[in-house]
Structure 1
């Protein structure tokens, strides 16, 4: 495959997408080069999958076909940092770690923490993943104020900050966040920033009363994050609360008093803070915060019936959790567990998604918006060349 001015190499086993090996890997360095690659792909009816740092490239079902991988590693520049306006514009291949270092020099941060080391801006947006700070600052959709994408036919489209060209009637930022590369390639993103906190404290207890979560969330002590960890479905829940900013030490002491028991204050987070509980059989579970305690009971009860040992970790404040099962778990039992939990949490608006697991599993479960999502896919990628089959309903 030849694209003028763009490095293209033959793919190897390390480039596989959820087990599917592409034929070529393109390494564009600009938005215009992404557009050139996609025009050639469209002319030759090639299926394309975008890739960032590769930390979540194995998430989701495998693509129906994958001819070309677009690696954004060379799109690694911070294009503009307007420190006075608390705004930054970056290319999609910039890693969150590298961006954090650049912003810290100006006393600022992007309050978007991904659980994967080496995660890029584009990959984090494409999967919609967020870490502990989502409790206070929201997810990528809340921090994103502008985006540049390249559609399947090579059209460059922009929305939000500094608009040059938009796709009428669509909020591109919200559509592309969490789309798993099925609508196009994210090339650039503009975010609003926040000042770095002057001080941070973590208050942790290994004998948590989950009834405290709502009290902490509504407290004038203003925690920045409330995370939980439960390695044993029948064991205690470890709860850790982040307090940062002005008078963090004093506020942490008040949080400690509120949490009681064996709560202790640390200047560093627990070792598990902001990290996934595992990656071989990984599920994403989201429910209403009021249903948190009941959901943990549901997970434990169904796991016990199937002799499974789930490890649950994530945001107690938003009830946005990750569940991992031992990699040697029987696939049939895993499928039964997923189905049973989905059935129980669905009436109250809960959702369980399989992030990594056997390819024959139902990764996404049902969704009432499937018709609309298919219409959006048809509008942006009518020939199904972008990551075909990787999203809800085989989109």
Structure 2
């Protein structure tokens, strides 16, 4: 009877709703229903019903990162933001854009490019504005332009009780004492629902060139530092090592005027080849790609999971790069990311068991500054490690979601 009443209450909002299926699972947990609001006000209506009926809710954008984070403690409603897909305002003279959370980054990129501008975030195919903020994913060019948090200048969110709040940009209603943009970026949907975002833009570069070279692991740190400090001013320096014991591919991006000549100057430093397009792995996380090590039909042993379901993130001071490369090699992990920003993403090669992954992560934590596991199918693998700010984060969760209805348990410390 309670479930029937909850469904009736959701139906009364006028929001499109359907029964969920396995394809709607959030980190393996299948919700009861999927709602498809078309306005901020409809998001608010759904959240008010969830508050009245004590229904747990998880927002979703493109679904490219739904396997990130811990499985929710419960999930009654999946709030699909695909219908909030409008670019609301583009003030090209001010280099500002305001877009709804369901706008794909691909669509936003195309629309801005037509006006000679860009949002300098390198998102995975299919990612949305809201999902990019909720997971705080930062691509190669964060080295020069900053992370999503740095480029965000305004945000509209819907809180757990249905309150619509705005911060930054054109403020209508704020939450006193809180920078909502910074709080909600990287919160995995545990504080509320991101509905709209306003970003600072950059002019679209006139030209781009990539320098790509391959070197031994022991040369990577010195070379990366030299490239980053070069007068050619690269926008990004990335590395890729698909074979844990093999050489490392180093790629640097040069943008803007005389990009071809500046890339040639980098080649004098690093060797390699200059190309007008990126290497195929550029801007992709290891779990954005098809799983490695599966059989012809994608089958794996019962005790193991495909590498594509596992992602480890390592953050470190750039001078510790050699130790990170050694630790990843010893753990049997392929890696990719920015040696100059101090962020790499690792994934096992082939299938990995729970025991092997837990041991590898523990070994990495003994040798590397900060190790998190955004994606893992295994419950006994400690995803976050020690987090000094956890008491403060729990107080923020209590302030914004005292009923623990927003993606409960998905984030660090069971938040």
Matched with 1:28 is: 37
Aligned partner of residue 142 in structure 1, secondary structure? helix
Aligned residue for 2:108, secondary structure, equals: helix
Stretches of structure 1 that go unaligned for 5 or more consecutive residues are 304-308
Query: What residue is the counterpart of 2:404 in the other structure?
Result: 384
Distance in 2 of aligned mates of 1:243 and 1:52: 31
Structure 2 residue corresponding to 1:251, chosen from 262, 269, 272: 262
Match among 117, 129, 142 for residue 108 of structure 1: 117
Cα offset, 1:354, TM superposition: 3.8
Deviation at 1:280, TM superposition (A): 1.6
Q: Which runs of 5+ in 2 are unaligned?
A: 1-6, 288-307
Distance 2:185 2:177 in 1: 17
Q: Distance in 1 between matches of 2:108 and 2:146?
A: 18
Which stretch shows the higher mean deviation, 15-24 or 357-366? Answer: 357-366
In structure 1, the partner of 2:351 is 328
Q: 2:394 is matched with which residue? A: 374
Q: Give me the whole-angstrom Cα distance separating, in 1, the residues matched to 2:13 and 2:372.
A: 44
User: Displacement, 1:356?
Assistant: 2.8
**Superposition pairs of residues 82-231 of structure 1, within 5 angstroms:** 82-114=91-123, 116-207=124-215, 209-210=219-220, 211-231=222-242
Residue-by-residue CA offset, 1:245-299 (whole Å, 9 max, x unaligned): 0110110010000113xx1100111111111223321111111112112211122
CA deviations over 1:346-382 (Å, ceiling 9, x no partner): 3xxx333342331332111110000000000000000
Q: Residue 268 of structure 2: SS of its match in structure 1?
A: helix
Shift of 1:327: 5.0
Aligned counterpart in structure 1 of residue 338 of structure 2, from 315, 340, 347:
315
Residue 343 of structure 1 deviates from its aligned partner by 2.1
Q: What's the secondary structure of 2:286's corresponding residue?
A: coil
Q: Structure 1 CA distance, aligned partners of 2:240 and 2:135?
A: 22
TM-score w.r.t. length of structure 2: 0.90
Report the secondary structure of 2:375's partner residue.
strand
Deviation at 1:316, TM superposition (A): 2.0
- Residue in structure 2 matched with residue 291 of structure 1 by the alignment: 320
* SS of aligned partner of 1:19: coil
Residue aligned with 1:53, SS? coil
**CA distance, structure 2, for counterparts of residue 214 and residue 344 of structure 1:** 22
Q: Are residues 1:71 and 2:80 paired?
A: yes
Aligned mate of 2:51, from 21, 39, 42 = 42
RMSD, aligned α-carbons: 1.1
Q: 2:19 & 2:374 partners in 1: Cα distance?
A: 31
**TM-score normalised by length of structure 1:** 0.95
